[in-house]
Amino acid sequence: MSSNTPRRNSCRGGAGGSRAAPECPPVRRRGSSSCALLSSSSGAQGEENLSVRLSQSLLAITLRLFLAVDLWLSKQLGVCASEESAWGSIRPLVRLVELSGHVLPWLAGSLYTLLRGDSVAEKEIMLNLTLALILDLLTVRAVRTVVRRRRPAQNRADLLSTLFVERCSFPSGHASRAALCARFCAARLVDTASVRVLVVSWAALLGLSQLLLSRHYVTDVGFGLAQGYLQYGLVERLWVTWDCLRDLLLVRVRGSLDRAYSDLWAVAWKLGVGRYG
Question: Which residues form the catalytic set?
Answer: 174, 216
Cα separation, 210 vs 120, whole angstroms: 36
Report how far residue 177's alpha carbon sits from residue 171's, in angstroms, rounded to the nearest whole number: 11
Q: Is 113 exposed, middle or buried (0-12, 13-18, 19+ CB in 10 A)?
A: middle
DSSP states of 217-250: -HHHHHHHHHHHHHHHHHHHHTPPPHHHHHHHHH
Rounding to the nearest 10 degrees, give the CA dihedral for residues 160, 195, 193, 234: 40
Tell me how far apart the alpha carbons of residues 143 and 154 are, in angstroms, rounded to a whole number: 23
Provide the 3-class DSSP secondary structure of residue 30: helix
**DSSP result, 106-151:** HHHHHHHHHHH-SSHHHHHHHHHHHHHHHHHHHHHHHHHHHH-PBP
- Of the candidates 182, 183, 177, the residue with the CA atom closest to the CA atom of residue 236: 183
Buried b (16+ CB within 10 A) or exposed e, 75-95: eebbbbbeeebeeeeebeebb
